[in-house]
């Protein structure tokens, strides 16, 4: 697994800020009974449907436990510890030159820290946006993103 922390073209000092944010901890999304299902355009939905077929049965040792309502656009592991949504809208924060990101096994992810939840990562430079929300126990561990990198690389082409 290759995982490096780096901002989107920002100085190393800003990368240190990301590490401090990650070290601060966060709240768990909990075992969500439901999650909002994205409604992407047809072309993006096709990439998401392909991704759904490639997603692993386990991520960091957690069994797959998809949220409700069932959809090819959502997946989960560990009863809400890790939640994936594919085809989400482009996050507004991606326009922020101070946005923080990491690279995990060839996939770039932007970090957001929504109030009251764990860290949320959204793929960058892909033809469909894939969002992964992590519970508190993964605030310092990007291994879940690395576990999801191969399926993303295989099914959601770069937008470059």
Length of the chain: 160
Q: What is the pLDDT of residues 116-129, one digit of tens each?
A: 788 999 999 999 99
Helix (H) or strand (E) holding 122: strand 120-123
How sure is the predictor about 1, in pLDDT bands with cuts at 50, 70 and 90? very low
Q: In the chain, count of helices (H) and strands (E)?
A: 3, 9
Q: Which of 120, 126, 139 lies closest to 87 in space, CA to CA?
A: 126
Cβ neighbors of 111 (< 8 A, separation 6 or more) are: 18, 21, 22, 99, 100, 101, 102, 119, 120, 121
Domain ranges of the chain: 3-155
- pTM of whole model > 0.85? no
Q: What is the pLDDT of residues 146-156, one digit of tens each?
A: 999 999 999 99
Given CA atoms 21, 27, 32, 36 in this order, what sign does their dihedral have? negative
Could you count the other beta carbons within 10 Å of the beta carbon of residue 34? 9
Mean pLDDT of 71-89: 96
User: What would the two tokens of residue 160 be?
Assistant: 């470059």
């Amino acid at each position: 697994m290759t995982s490096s922390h780096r901002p989107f073209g920002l100085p190393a000092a800003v990368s240190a800020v990301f590490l401090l944010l990650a070290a601060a901890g966060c709240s768990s999304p909990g075992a969500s009974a439901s999650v909002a299902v994205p409604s992407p355009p047809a072309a993006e939905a096709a990439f998401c449907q392909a991704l759904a077929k490639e997603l692993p049965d386990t991520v960091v040792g957690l069994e797959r436990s998809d949220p409700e309502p069932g959809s090819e656009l959502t997946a989960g592991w560990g009863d809400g510890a890790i939640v994936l949504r594919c085809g989400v809208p482009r996050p507004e924060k991606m326009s922020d030159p101070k946005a923080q990101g990491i690279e995990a096994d060839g996939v770039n992810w932007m970090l957001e820290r929504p109030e009251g939840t764990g860290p949320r990562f959204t793929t960058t430079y892909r033809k469909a946006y894939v969002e992964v929300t992590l519970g508190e126990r993964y605030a310092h561990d990007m291994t879940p993103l690395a576990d999801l990198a191969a399926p993303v690389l295989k099914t959601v082409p770069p937008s470059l």
